[in-house]
A = this chain, B = another copy of it.
Amino acid sequence: MTDLDVPSGRPAAVPTPEPGDARLHRLSLNQKTIDRWNVAEAVAGCAAAGVPAIGLWREPVRAYGLRASAKLVAEAGLRVSSLCRGGFLTSPDPDAWRNALDDNRRAIDEAAELGAACLVLVVGGLPPGSRDLPAARARVAESLDLLVPYAVERNVRLALEPMHPLYTADRGVLATLGEALDLAERFPSSAVGVVVDSFHTWWDPQLPAQLTRAGERIAGVQLADWITPLPPDALLSRGMLGDGHIDLRGFVRLTDAAGYTGDIEVEIFNADVWAADGAQTLATVCRRWTEHVI
């Protein structure tokens, strides 16, 4: 292991925590942070680095096999902090919508099999050609009415993810935590929670108040930094912890104060991070975690 951080290349300010370091006890690697790793590599990487939890994605889980993934994760003693992701529920077209609901039911089944703490829902953007934001938001509510009973039967908690307004048009029409809570509160907290990502929510002047309101609805916490200039591809614009402008420690303290005690995922979509060596990236994540988060 070098003593250089990845991907920023600056000298590491703190030593890499050893596996077993108690400071890592709530850290979870969202596997999208190291996009090149398959499930087996991600599980082995977490075990080697002493990271006790993992956030899984459906596509690599499918590629490795659902049952095999569940077995591997369980044998490694890793907690599954979330399964990413269901959602994309905004189509007004009956067939497309029915297909989306069916796909979400499969995602719920997968989350149950994996024992995931929640299934993250990225609710979807405006349908093609539509400028009707209220209608898209209403379609999400209508979808939840149908999905929640199915999830409750399987003991899977759904987690609505408010997305940065950067993505309102094309990824997620829920733009604030307050709006996600308005929707979630129509259901029991055990059935529908929220996942709060620093990248998506850090700018919101209502964030402290809405986190307090959320309380036990917080089903997951994710971290990435906001970097400037924003990388050219908006979908890959998240920064390594400490490379940007977010007070990540303050953010996590707010979630602590709201009563959240679960795992905290690091989830970074970034071309430079994805190009780096996986083990080095995970070492950087662990270092930055001790430097900027806890």
Contact = CB atoms under 8 A, between A and B. Distances in A.
Report how many copies the assembly holds: 2
A223 to B, nearest CB: 13
Contacts of A234: 229-230
A234 B267 CA distance: 22
Interface stretch (A39-47, A129-137, A144-152): A129-137
Contact of A170 (B126, B137, B165, B228): B228
Given A133-B247, A164-B165, A169-B245, 20 more contacts: A126-B245, A131-B250, A133-B202, A133-B203, A137-B205, A164-B166, A165-B203, A165-B204, A168-B226, A170-B228, A170-B229, A175-B203, A175-B204, A176-B205, A176-B206, A178-B205, A178-B206, A179-B205, A230-B234, A232-B232
18 contacts: A133-B203, A133-B247, A137-B205, A164-B165, A165-B165, A165-B166, A165-B204, A168-B203, A169-B203, A169-B244, A169-B245, A170-B228, A170-B229, A175-B205, A176-B205, A176-B206, A179-B205, A232-B232
